[in-house]
Homo-oligomer: A and B are copies of this chain.
Amino acid sequence: METRALTARTSTESTRDIPEATVARLPVYLRALTTLCEAGTITCSSEELASAAGVNSAKLRKDLSYLGSYGTRGVGYDVDYLRYQIAREIGVTQDWPVVIVGIGNLGHALANYSGFRSRGFRVVALLDADPNRHEEVVAGVDVRPFDDLEQIVKEHGVAIGVIATPALAAQDVANRMVASGISSILNFAPAVLSVPEGVDVRKVDLSIELQILAYHEQRKTHGATA
């Protein structure tokens, strides 16, 4: 009778529906906590953690409150405990298999990026349409033909794909990924992807970021071009 049925979960814990803005900050908190942890810190206040993460302390506390009450009033948060809780909420307590398509300059860099491995992701395959690259071994993983995508996805249970191809190829790659069963895509190609309902796409665009900076930069020195 109630809409509750939709939000009710089997689990005994975890209040669901975390705001999107909060979800985007959780990884930042996670990194800050890891840094604190490595520095030997046992406990920290919301003020300290907020400062380490570069956000407002009130915002931090509100964000954490969506996950539950993991702090202790008058004391603060247990660094290691909170770190685990956030990692669990995000889902990076165990590794996610990932495929990267497009082994150009950027693909190389991504394959070699150690931050993936250390933060819950494992590159299980590198794919490229160019046969000349199929001899290569990058970061300990050999480059394979793009047509192997479906088999690899099935074999490793891959849910997340990274697109690092030229813009023209991006939509085709996305289509094949979706057809193979991938339901989350990180797109580095400068192209707008259209995907079916239920598939998440996040886009990282290097030149757009620079253009945004250029806009503000232009403002700073507006009329003073002499």
Which residues in A have some Cβ–Cβ distance to B below 8 Å? 9-11, 23-24, 26-28, 30-32, 52-54, 89-92, 96, 98, 104-106, 108-110, 112-113, 115-116, 119-121, 159-160, 162, 183-186, 190, 192, 194, 198, 200, 202, 204-218, 220-223
Contacts and interface: CB of A to CB of B under 8 A. Distances in A.
Contact of A209 (B108, B204, B212): B204
Contacts of A52: 192
Tally of this chain's copies = 2
A172 B98 CA distance: 33
A160 B213 contact: yes
A30 B159 contact: no
Nearest to A222: B9
A98 to B, nearest CB: 7
Contacts of A220: 183, 198
A217 B184 contact: yes
Contact of A211 (B120, B212, B223): B120
Given A120-B214, A200-B213, A208 B28 contact: yes
Given A183-B220, A198-B220, A220-B198, A91 B23 contact: no
A159 B217 contact: yes
